[in-house]
Structure 1
Amino acid sequence: MSNKPARTRREEEQQELLGDHSFNDDLLEHLDEIPDEVRKKWPRDLAALIDIYQAAMQRRGYSADEARSIAHTLMAEQSMYCGGRHVYIPKGDRFKQAVRDVELFRDWHDRGIVPDDLAARYKISTQHVYRIIKEQRGLHMKKVQPALF
């Protein structure tokens, strides 16, 4: 007898409607065994993303096997949530700027660092710091405070 809890009727209905779209570890471990002639049919961007993720993980100190496993897991998750859609990913500079703006806001909001010190830390003007704080505060409020209508 299984130790797994019985699935509810609703879960069973969802499973019937949606199918099983999850990736288990066994499947992900065998992605390397997919023949090259099959992989060649994959979009080049998919193969490139796997390579990019794997290389990034190796630069962070993961072994080649660990990095490959993480890359496969990330692609599986991305296919689950973004599969079939066009997803815009900003270019490197714009992405770095967006991350910088979030980090600057956290430094101000959570760590209490004053705008003049933030300007020096991020090598931007104090006026620019205030613009970033205003923009990020608006985004933060939308996330933490639900709309009232």
Structure 2
Amino acid sequence: MATDDQRDLLGDSSFSDELLEHLDEIPDEIRKKWPRDLAALLDIFQAALQRMGFEADKSRQIAHNLMNEQATYCGGRHVYIPKGDRLKQAIRDVELYNDWHDRGILPDELAGRYKISTVHVYRIIKEQRGLRMKKVQPDLF
């Protein structure tokens, strides 16, 4: 639950569960005014949740909650979402680094696991290490 300070800082634009249950009842004339991407994201979220095994009603409820969160924190601004290949690559690079750093898996083994060259593994480790260092130790300039 958000504190009063958080509500003041973020604004109290949260939706109640009761309100979210009625989103499907919004007339088509109103929904048509929504950006197509909003409707598409709802459909994408719901379809993904159903592929994960959620029932239709539950997947719709979760999709609406996800859109609420996105609207609350990103509403009114453009958000860049990388294409699927770039996103998969970024996730792969983070997982590879975690396998090396946290699990101690050797670069040669990582090359086989991720089906890339050992040189590429070293490049990813170097890049990920640099990105993590920036989080911990920002530039001094």
Q: If the length of structure 1 is used for normalisation, what is the TM-score?
A: 0.85
Corresponding residue of 1:125:
117
Give me the CA root mean square deviation: 2.0
Aligned to 1:30: 22
* Within-5 A mapping of 1:129-144: 129-143=121-135
Q: Which residue of 1 aligns with 2:56?
A: 64
> 5+ residue gaps in structure 1?
1-6
> Following superposition of structure 1 onto structure 2, how do residues 73-88 of structure 1 map, counting pairs within 5 Å?
73-88=65-80
Relative to structure 1, the CA distance from residue 21 to residue 132 in structure 2 (aligned partners, 3 Å threshold; closer, same or farther) is same
User: Residue by residue, what CA displacement relative to the aligned partner does 1:41-86 show, whole Å, maximum 9, x if unpaired?
Assistant: 1100000000000000000000001100110011110011111111
SS in 2 for 1:68: helix
Cα distance in 2 for partners of 1:69, 1:82 equals: 20
Radius of gyration: which is bigger? 1
More deviation, 132-141/41-50: 132-141
Runs of 4+ in structure 1 off by over 3 angstroms are 146-149
Which 5+ residue runs of structure 2 have no aligned equivalent?
Answer: none
Percent sequence identity is 72
Tell me the SS of whatever aligns to 2:89: helix
Change in 2 beyond 3 A, CA 1:120/1:12: closer
> What residue is the counterpart of 1:92 in the other structure?
84
SS in 1 for 2:63: helix
Q: Which residue of 1 aligns with 2:8?
A: 14
1:75 and 1:140 mapped to 2: Cα distance? 29
Q: CA deviation at 1:148?
A: 7.5
Aligned-pair CA distance for 1:23: 1.6
| C-alpha distance in structure 2 between counterparts of 1:62 and 1:37, whole Å | 29
- When the two structures are superposed, what TM-score results if normalisation uses the length of structure 2? 0.90
Query: Do the aligned partners of residues 123 and 24 (structure 1) sit closer, same or farther apart at CA in structure 2, a change above 3 Å counting?
Result: same
Higher relative contact order (CA 8 A, sep 6+): 2
Shift of 1:146: 4.0
